[in-house]
Amino acid sequence: MTEYRSDLTRRTFLRGALAGALAAPGAPALLGAERQSTTTRESTPWYRRAYLWGQTNITEKDPVRYDIDWWRGYWKRTQVQAVIINAGGIVAYYPSKFPLHHRAEFLGERDLFGDLTKAAHADGIFVMARMDSNRTDEDFFKAHPDWFARNASGQPYRAADKYIACINSAYYDQYLPDVLREIIERSKPDGFTDNSWAGLGRESICYCDNCTQKFKAKTGKALPRKADWDDQAYREWIMWSYARRTEVWELNNRTTRAAGGPDCIWSGMNSGSVTAQARSFRDLKEIGARADIMMLDHQRRDDDTGFQQNGDTGKRVHMIAGWDTLAPESMAMYQSGPGYYRVAAKPAAEARMWMIAGIAGGIQPWWHHVAAYHEDRRMYQTAEPVMRWWKTNQHYLVGRTPVASVGLVWSQRNTDFFGRDASPEVVDAPYTGFMHALVRARIPYLPIHADDIERQAAAMTVLILPNVGALAEAQVATIRRFVERGGSLFATGATSLHNEWGDPRPDFALGDLFGCHRTGDVTPGGAPGGRGGSTDPIGAFAPSPSGHTYLRLIPELRARVDGPRAGDEPAIPGPRHAVLSGFEETDLLAYGGSLTPLRVDKGAVVPLTFVPPFPTYPPETAWMREPKTDVPGLVLSEHGKGRVAYMPADVDRRYARDHLPDHARLLGNVIRWTAAGSIPLTVEGTGLIDCHLYQQPGRSVLHMVNLTSEATWRAPLDELIRVGPFKITMPVPAGQTKPRARLLVAGGTPAVEVAGGRASLEIASILDHEVIVLE
């Protein structure tokens, strides 16, 4: 712990020093990265100035065919400042003194890792030694049978022909630190990363003697016999397993710094998916507090999440690790998804857009090839132009602060204990639905961890809570304070309906703010946003049997006389609420989910109600059996200056899955109503554009990523499609009255008009992306 605290102190000091440099009076107009590199270069550790990365993931065959000179040329062409080189773990690429450290099949006596490290250092490039450390050959297992993970019947866990080491064994406490020290003594890499450092995942409980004894000593309990989210022993096993990974993170850092100096850091790789992090016990928040650099192994999109998910990942990791912490991300130059073709080039448009989408969210590009020799040479053409553009414009791509009035709340404990085994459906999909809707609506937002609301959301207007079922009392209290201070909420589904362990509460903890409450007569499978499964006493996320359901648009009811409506005074239909704008020609929206009754507080507005399922087939039967109900699909209320929208309907999840445009429009409308004019950006013009807004001293920076393509949702992308023109209004940089605009991709200086504190300008078109700098 002491090590960790001193490290934090050092980081805090460093951040203070950098901030001071940026704020120095009389500083030149160009700040950020350039200033760091000229005035604080010597005090800035290497991992804060290694912006462009490359990795050739070495195969066992490569020691006899690795053309180091050719790769040095490629490093130079792509401008990389750091490379990742395979050192040891499952396979060693140097002649290790440890006889059981398996040498690459074609290594012989060659020190390929050492040769490459020397070459990189000679070229002024930093080296991160790559470990892949969680499994071994059979001879290792036979020599140390007590270092390996075992199932309930005592058999070792295996992956193909390899044996999985137990994270609680001396393999991690003694053997790996010895290997790290050996590598440092031989070749002095600048740091270490590790691909599979977190050991066995959540799906496999280890019952080895180490785990049995350590868990008993920590909790007084026996290891859980199976995965049972309602069993307190299983819950404690989850938290104990997280804590061990964090301990290994600290142990590895102590080891590498003691042997290699204070900047010889160790930083294991992380995923951009919180569900993937949860399943491998990598706690993003705890890691973000400790990491000097965030190494992301997150190589591609899937069809549900799109390129925009990489921009989201960049924002998420920076919000937890700090915007001055670099976050390089491994970006596959080979075809991965759909399919794995390790030595075939990924279509250039697909690889390029993944890189650009990440850069827009603050990610450092890192090309990634598997094997040192390729017959598909097209893959060597993709990264170079992106890296060169990055290098030319680096002042505007680092050292910047995001600007947003909307926060999208997440927490890994919610993924664990509310999501349980269904987190892709009940946690990830609602979040993703909002992400897509925000991108569609061109509303800048930031991912906010539920424990950081007090610190990070103070200046925000709206918090979105996408089916955040599990909230601890303290988190509920901070959300309450946010509203008391005038903030607005947009919550969906089961938000606040469960405590931090995922146990159901009798009512929403935020029910008074939502303006509605659960009724006592919820039928099984009917609670909003539930996760399903036999362990869930109150809900299921399954759609209604046919999925053939609708939401009915309800006019606001106005009293016959001015003033508040009293008692049973008759009401007349008024105009529809602003959240229904754009739906003037329909009284129904396709929905597809199910809903159950809620008790709505007086004064709350219900602009949408549920139409229960009716047959779709044969068509003669497709008539509504129950056209009108009182079951709310959306409840709106006002609390002081704060506006609260609670949407029991899982429109967020449905948008992630079905992509119905009405769902995006509805979510966007509700966000705009809660934001009440506070959104700092408008962009007019056709196309799907992901907008990231930043500020630097004296400067506004808008990064627009063109996601309009024939493969907007489905990979791989083959062709880029130009869109435009766009009319944009964005914030005027602080202290400026007549800012000038510059385009970092198309070039040119469009005219700027300033009115009402906003700058407006037009750009003709965007092919892949554009960065507008206002200064």
Q: Which residues form the interface with Zn ion (CB under 5 A)? A: 149, 166, 168, 206, 208, 210-211
Which one, 149 or 715, has the nearer CB to Zn ion? Answer: 149
Cβ closest to Zn ion, residue 208 vs residue 711 = 208
Shortest reach from residue 199's CB to Zn ion, in Å? 9
* Min separation Cβ 237 and Zn ion, Å: 11
Cis omega before residue 716 (within 30°)?
Answer: yes
Task: Answer for the pair 389, 361: CB distance below 8 angstroms, yes or no.
Answer: no
Nearer to Zn ion by Cβ, of 244 and 577: the residue is: 244
Pick the closer one to Zn ion by CB: 142 or 378. 142
Q: Tell me, what amino acid is at 740?
A: R
Strand (E) or helix (H) holding 488: strand 488-492
- Dist CA 367 CA 382 (whole Å): 9
- In the complex with Zn ion, the residue whose CB is nearer, 207 or 445, is 207
Shortest separation between residue 209's beta carbon and Zn ion, angstroms: 8
Phi, psi of 554 (to 5 degrees): -110, 130
- Sequence-distant (≥ 6) Cβ neighbours of residue 54 within 8 angstroms: 74, 75, 78, 80, 82, 83, 84, 366, 367, 368, 383
Q: Name the DSSP class of 427.
A: I
Q: Is 746 exposed, middle or buried (0-12, 13-18, 19+ CB in 10 A)?
A: middle
Element containing residue 68 per DSSP (H, E): helix 68-77
Q: Work out how close the CB of 173 gets to Zn ion at its nearest, in angstroms, rounded to a whole number.
A: 12
Choose between 211 and 634: whose C-beta lies nearer to Zn ion.
Answer: 211
Least gap, CB of 208 to Zn ion (angstroms): 3
484: three-class secondary structure by DSSP: helix
Closer Cβ to Zn ion, 240 or 390, answer by number: 240
Q: Compute the least distance from the CB of residue 247 to Zn ion, in Å.
A: 14
- Least distance between Zn ion and beta carbon 367 (Å): 37
642-647, strands of its sheet edge to edge: 445-449, 406-410, 462-465, 488-492, 642-647, 632-639, 605-611, 550-553, 588-590
Spatial separation of the C-alpha atoms in residues 666 and 468, rounded to whole Å: 20
Closest to Zn ion by CB, 168 or 267: 168
CB of 152 to Zn ion, least distance (A): 12
Whole-angstrom Cα distance, residue 482 to residue 463?
A: 9
Q: Where are the alpha helices (DSSP H) in 123-172?
A: 138-143, 170
Q: Which amino acid appears at position 361 of this protein?
A: G
Contact 148, 224 (CB under 8 A): no
Provide the Cα torsion 434, 437, 441, 444; round to 10°. 30
Q: Which is nearer to Zn ion, 51 or 175 (CB)?
A: 175
Shorter beta-carbon distance to Zn ion: residue 170 or 559 = 170
For the bound state, the minimum distance from the C-beta of residue 162 to Zn ion, rounded and expressed in Å, comes to 16
Least CB distance to Zn ion at residue 446 (A): 39
State the CB neighbour count (10 A cutoff) for residue 673: 19
Distance between CA atoms of 590 and 548, rounded to whole angstroms? 8
| Residues contacting residue 479 through CB under 8 Å, at least 6 positions apart | 453, 463, 465, 471, 489, 496, 510, 513
Q: How far is the CB of 169 from Zn ion (least distance, A)?
A: 6
Looking at the Cβ atoms of 158 and 639, the one nearer to Zn ion is 158
Minimum CB distance to Zn ion smaller for 282 or for 442:
282
Count of beta carbons in the 10 Å neighbourhood of residue 385:
13
